[in-house]
Structure 1
Amino acid sequence: MATDIQIASLALTRIGHEGVTAFSASGNKASRWFASNYEFIRQALLREHSWRFATKRTYLTRDTVNEITGATAANPVVITIADGHSIANGTEVFITGVVGMTELNNRAYTTSGATATTLQLVGVDGTSYTAFSSAGSLTEYVVSEYAYRFALPSDCLRILRINGAERDDYRVEAGYLLTNEGEINCEYIFDNTDESTFDAQFVDLLASRLSAEVCFYLTDNSTLTEQSWNIYNNKLRMARGMDSRQGTPRGLDADAWLDARV
């Protein structure tokens, strides 16, 4: 079972450099480099392929869509959500789909005066607005081409599939998955920080990537650096191919398509 120090030392020996015993900002040149760069490079490599040892599945929690049941033509406008809400004062909210008092639609507001079923829209004078008729939704995110927003797991590096399909319509933005699907079963690459669970071929690959990244910094040798990158790219193709064989193929693999274009 590998450790981060063992992987780093393997990377260093491949370019003729002594290994490290720790990652430290106050250590030698190699130790300082790994302290600053190891985690970033490990995450980047995990994102590059659907590695089986770094794949998880989970159900995502959908952000609440609050159904509006009333809006006063007053100063300030008071919104009623009969089923109740958990929106704190000072929260930015967005309103869409109101019938009647359409002046409220597709705008952002700041809340205040919240009760269990109502909240005020700060600075919004609705005394001249059309009377509220029905409907409307209030959310803590902008509803545009997608109706729903789901928070991604904190360890998510890359979405692979949602609801068992590779071509579903969704978008990932700022830690959230936006979609028109009301429920999401998500398959994703997670930020696997436990090197002891890494596939042996991935350990070899990560060491090669680190060798290529650190080579010129430590050796000032452009030829050796180029050779290190060539070795890494060859190992990457082999590792992707081997990993992809661990299960039934799912049609055209994006990695294979990209490799074919190179």
Structure 2
Amino acid sequence: MAESDNILEVANDALIKVGQKPVAALTDRPDDLNRIFSTQRDIVLAMAPWTFAMKRSRLTAAGLLDCSSKIITIIGNTDPTADTIADDGTGFVTAGFVGGDRALISGSGNNVGSHPIASVVAATLTSEIYGSLITETLTNDANLKIYAQPANRWSYKYATPSDSVRIWTVNERTDDDQTLWAEEGDYVVTNDIDNDQIHVNYISQVSDPADWSKLFRECLTIKLASELAMSIKESLDEKKMWTKHLDYKLKQAFARNADDGNTVKNIDTSRSSTGWQKAGR
């Protein structure tokens, strides 16, 4: 069966659950079932530690961590000109720096520490203040590292994998000393670092129905039914009924994954977005 046929079958199962006739194509629905399908798929993926979607990866901290072939020029200015950090290349934007972050400098003779950044262009970081940096030029310095540091309480940030719908664990441990972290936008933020990296388990985006487990497919069908109950029938009671049924099925999914060797201890079925903050999981 083709991928599109599998998707249509799941969608039609959801339509039947809410008393509607099957369709020949997702675009046949006036409520735009085709548009919501992929969104609801990713939401259900993010709800449980599905073994078919779980991946492991090492993430490298954002920043310029290899300056061995770069010329970095740090300029300490006086009022009213702000301090700057210049790269002879164009690495600051692609390295993850944004205005409002901080530049955490390591390996410099004069400027070790965390410095607030007002603005970022490809080759220059401009500080929020003047006089906090000491002018120096570092040429091909293998010891120099400039981390893109979040402006909040976290020390480091790491770009999430491009196929991630939810980070599940960071530096997973079996003891009680769990890593504290959060997911903010396209980054994991944490105070943990080991050789400039962290280890993550994450739920990947799996779009081909042939790769889904039967239980995931059933959960997605129920989630679609809960959405259609509102968009087609405007029935909050029916939506609540399907949502309660989905919670029950997700608990089954969690138990089954645990039996298959997944050691994740937490499940959260109350979220409808993958952008929430997740600390300490």
Per the TM superposition, whether the score is higher than 0.5 is: yes
1:108 partner letter = I
Structure 2 CA distance, aligned partners of 1:120 and 1:243? 46
SS in 2 for 1:48: coil
SS in 2 for 1:21: coil
Post-superposition shift, 1:248? 5.6
Distance 1:61 1:85, change over 3 A: farther
Structure 2 CA distance, aligned partners of 1:257 and 1:19? 28
Pair 1:5-2:11 in alignment: no
**Mean alpha-carbon deviation: is it higher for 236-245 or for 62-71?**
62-71
Match runs of 1:181-220 below 5 Å: 181=193, 182-220=196-234
On the 8 A contact 1:95/1:136 being kept in 2, the answer is no
Distance 1:217 1:72, change over 3 A: closer
On the 8 A contact 2:50/2:253 being kept in 1, the answer is no
Question: Which residue in 1 is equivalent to 2:115?
Answer: 106
Post-superposition shift, 1:71? 3.8
Among candidates 238, 255, 261, match of residue 267 of structure 2: 255
Question: Which residue in 1 is equivalent to 2:43?
Answer: 44
Distance 1:91 1:45, change over 3 A: closer
Distance 1:86 1:148, change over 3 A: farther
Post-superposition shift, 1:146? 3.2
Match runs of 1:5-154 below 5 Å: 5-24=8-27, 27-29=28-30, 32-65=31-64, 71-73=75-77, 77=83, 79=85, 86-87=90-91, 92=99, 94-96=102-104, 106-110=115-119, 121=126, 138-142=146-150, 145-154=153-162
On the 8 A contact 2:104/2:115 being kept in 1, the answer is yes
Gaps of 5+ in 2: 271-281
Post-superposition shift, 1:213? 1.9
Post-superposition shift, 1:8? 0.7
Post-superposition shift, 1:100? 6.5
Question: Which residue in 2 is equivalent to 1:157?
Answer: 165
| Structure richer in strand, relative to its length | 2
On the 8 A contact 1:7/1:203 being kept in 2, the answer is yes
Structure 2 CA distance, aligned partners of 1:41 and 1:222? 18
Question: Which residue in 2 is equivalent to 1:175?
Answer: 186
SS in 1 for 2:197: coil
Distance 1:213 1:107, change over 3 A: same
Post-superposition shift, 1:17? 1.4
| Identical aligned residues as a percent | 18
| Structure richer in helix, relative to its length | 1
Distance 1:111 1:256, change over 3 A: closer
Structure 2 CA distance, aligned partners of 1:216 and 1:123? 49
SS in 2 for 1:207: helix
**Can you list the C-alpha shifts for 1:153-186, whole angstroms capped at 9, x where unaligned?**
1221111222333721222212111223131222
Question: Which residue in 2 is equivalent to 1:242?
Answer: 256
Structure 1 CA distance, aligned partners of 2:183 and 2:213? 28
SS in 1 for 2:250: helix
What TM-score, normalized to structure 2? 0.67
1:169 partner letter = L
1:161 partner letter = T
Structure 1 CA distance, aligned partners of 2:37 and 2:129? 50
SS in 1 for 2:182: strand
1:212 partner letter = S
Structure 1 CA distance, aligned partners of 2:40 and 2:232? 17
Distance 1:131 1:237, change over 3 A: closer
Structure 2 CA distance, aligned partners of 1:236 and 1:124? 51
Structure 1 CA distance, aligned partners of 2:149 and 2:111? 20
Post-superposition shift, 1:48? 0.9
SS in 2 for 1:160: strand
Distance 1:70 1:11, change over 3 A: closer
2:156 partner letter = Y
